[in-house]
Chain A
Amino acid sequence: MKKILLFVLAVSASITVNSQTADEIITNYFENTGGMENWGKLEGIQMSAKVNQGGMEIPLEITQLKNGNQMTVINFQGLELKQGVFDGEVLWNTNFQTQKAEKSDQESTDNMKLEAKDFPDAFYNYREKGYTVELLGKEDLEGTETFKIKLNKKPMTVDGKEVENSSVYFFDAENFVPIVIHSEIRRGPNKGMTSEIKLSDYQEVDGLYFPFSMIQGIKDGIGQPITMEKIELNPTLDASAFKFPEEITEEGNK
Chain B
Amino acid sequence: MKKLIILVLGLSMSPFITDAQDKPSIDLKNLFGDLRARHIGPALMSGRINDMEIHPTNNQIIYAGTAGGGVWKSNDAGTTFNPIFDDHSQSIGAVALDPNDPDNVIYVGTGETWTRNSVSYGDGLYKSTDGGSNWKKLGFEKSERIANILVNPKNSNEVYVAVLGALWSDSDERGVFKSSDGGETWNKILYVNEKTGAADMAMDPKDPSILYVSMWEFRRTAWSFSSGGKNSALYKSTDAGETWDKIHNGFPDGQLGRLAIALAPSDSNILYTVIEAEDPKRKGLYRSDDAGASWKQLNNDFGITVRPFYFSRITVDPRNPDVVVKGGLSGSISKDGGKTFKSLGNMHSDIHDIVFDIDDSDRMYAGTDGGVYRSWNGGVTMEIVENLPLSQFYHISVDDAEPYNIYGGLQDNGSWYGPSSSSGGISAGDWNSIGPGDGFRVLKHPTKNIIYSEMQGAQNVWRYDVDNKLVKTIQPLEQVGYEDLRFNWNAPMAISAHQPDRFYMGSQFLHKSEDMGDTWEIISPDLSTNDSTKQQQVDSGGLSMDNSGAENHTTIFTIAESPLDENIIWVGTDDGNVQVTKDGGKNWQNVVSNIQGLPSNTWTYHIEASVHGKGIAYAVFDGHNSGDMHPYAYKTTDFGMTWTNIITDNVIGTSRNIQEDYENENLLFLGTEFGLYITADGGNHWEKFTKNVPPVAVHFIDLQKQTSDLVLGTHGRGIIIIEDISPLREITTEVLKAKLHFFSSKPMKLSDQSGFSGSFGAETQFVGENANKSPQIKYLLPKRHTFGKMSMEIRDSSGKVISKLSPGKSKGINIVNWSGNIKQPKIAKGKTLAFGGFATPRVQAGLYTAVITKGREVYEHTFEIVNDERSGLSLADRNLKHDVITKMYKMTEELAYMVYQIDTFIEAPETKSKLKSKLIELKKTLVITTGDNYVGSAEPELREKLADLFSKIVQSYDKPSNSELEYLSIVENRYLKAKKDFDKISKKIKSRKDIQLKTFGEFTE
Contact = CB atoms under 8 A, between A and B. Distances in A.
B812 A55 contact: no
A69 to B, nearest CB: 11
B80 interface: yes
A202 B840 contact: no
Interface of B: 1, 4-5, 7-15, 29-31, 33, 36, 73, 75, 80, 82, 84, 86, 130-134, 691-692, 783-791, 803-806, 808-812, 817, 819-824, 827-830, 832-834, 837-838, 840, 932-934, 936
Contacts of A52: 803-806, 819, 823
Contacts of B934: 97-98
Given A55-B821, A192-B75, A202 B7 contact: no
A207 to B, nearest CB: 15
A64 B12 CA distance: 8
Given A96-B933, A179-B786, A201-B790, 6 more contacts: A77-B833, A93-B5, A122-B15, A142-B33, A177-B787, A222-B36
Q: Closest 8 CB pairs between A and B? A: A55-B821, A78-B829, A143-B30, A225-B806, A55-B840, A143-B811, A55-B819, A84-B12
B12 A58 contact: no
Interface string A56-73: 111010101000001110
A60 B8 CA distance: 8
A175 B787 CA distance: 9
B8 A72 contact: yes
Interface string A31-60: 000000000000000000011111111101
A202 B786 contact: yes
A213 B806 contact: yes
A221 B933 CA distance: 33
17 contacts: A51-B7, A52-B804, A52-B805, A64-B15, A78-B829, A93-B5, A140-B30, A142-B810, A143-B29, A143-B811, A190-B82, A200-B785, A201-B787, A201-B788, A213-B806, A214-B11, A220-B86
Contacts of B133: 184, 194
Interface in A193-222: 193-195, 197-198, 200-203, 212-216, 220-222
- What is the predominant secondary structure among interface residues of chain B facing chain A? loop
Contacts of A221: 692
A112 B73 CA distance: 27
Interface string A76-103: 1111000110000000010011110000
A135 interface: no
B833 A76 contact: yes
Contact of B827 (A78, A98, A120): A78
B790 A143 contact: no
Given A97-B932, A216-B10, A55 B785 contact: no
A182 to B, nearest CB: 8
Nearest to A227: B806
Contacts of A184: 131, 133
Contacts of B13: 84, 112, 115
B788 A98 contact: no
A79 B8 contact: no
B812 A74 contact: no
B809 A118 contact: no
Contacts of A212: 789
Contacts of B829: 77-79
B827 A197 contact: no
Interface centre among A51, A136, A198, A200 (most CB of B within 10 A): A200
Interface of A: 50-58, 60, 62, 64, 70-72, 74, 76-79, 83-84, 93, 96-99, 112, 115, 118, 120-122, 136, 140, 142-144, 164, 172, 175, 177, 179, 181, 184, 189-195, 197-198, 200-203, 212-216, 220-222, 224-227
Interface centre among B10, B11, B817, B932 (most CB of A within 10 A): B11
Contacts of B819: 52, 54-55
B14 A216 contact: yes
B785 A201 contact: yes
Given A55-B819, A99-B932, A192-B75, A60 B11 contact: yes
B824 A93 contact: no
Contacts of B803: 52, 55
Nearest to B7: A224
B904 to A, nearest CB: 12
A77 B75 contact: no
A227 B791 contact: yes
Given A55-B819, A143-B30, A191-B75, A202 B788 contact: yes
Contacts of A62: 11-12
Interface centre among B791, B806, B828 (most CB of A within 10 A): B806
B823 A56 contact: yes
A115 B15 CA distance: 10
Contacts of B830: 77
A83 B6 CA distance: 9
Nearest to A226: B11
A189 B80 CA distance: 9
A83 B134 CA distance: 33
A98 B936 contact: yes
Given A83-B5, A140-B30, A184-B133, A55 B806 contact: no
A200 B781 CA distance: 14
A247 B1000 CA distance: 38
Nearest to B14: A197
Contacts of A120: 15
B118 to A, nearest CB: 27
Contacts of B824: 55-57
Given A143-B812, A227-B791, A118 B15 contact: yes
B323 to A, nearest CB: 30
Given A60-B11, A84-B9, A142 B786 contact: no
A142 B840 contact: no
A77 B7 CA distance: 19
Contacts of A56: 821, 823-824, 838, 840
Nearest to A148: B134
Given A72-B8, A184-B133, A192-B73, A202 B30 contact: no
Contact of A99 (B691, B809, B832, B840): B832
Contacts of B9: 72, 83-84, 93
A77 B834 contact: yes
Contacts of A193: 82
B827 A77 contact: yes
A203 B12 contact: no
B80 A70 contact: no
A175 B786 contact: yes
A68 to B, nearest CB: 12
Contacts of A190: 82
A247 to B, nearest CB: 14
Nearest to B75: A191
A93 B2 CA distance: 13
B787 A202 contact: yes
Contacts of B86: 220
Contacts of B805: 52, 225
Contacts of B827: 77-78
Given A55-B824, A57-B824, A77 B809 contact: no
Nearest to B819: A55
Nearest to A71: B12
Nearest to B841: A55
Interface centre among A99, A112, A214, A221 (most CB of B within 10 A): A99
Given A55-B819, A122-B15, A220 B692 contact: yes
A216 B812 contact: no
Given A192-B75, A197-B14, A226-B806, A55 B823 contact: yes
B731 to A, nearest CB: 14
A64 to B, nearest CB: 8
Contacts of B812: 142-143
Contact of A54 (B80, B804, B810, B821): B821
A207 B821 CA distance: 38
Interface centre among B7, B15, B133 (most CB of A within 10 A): B15
A164 B132 contact: no
Contacts of A220: 36, 86, 691-692
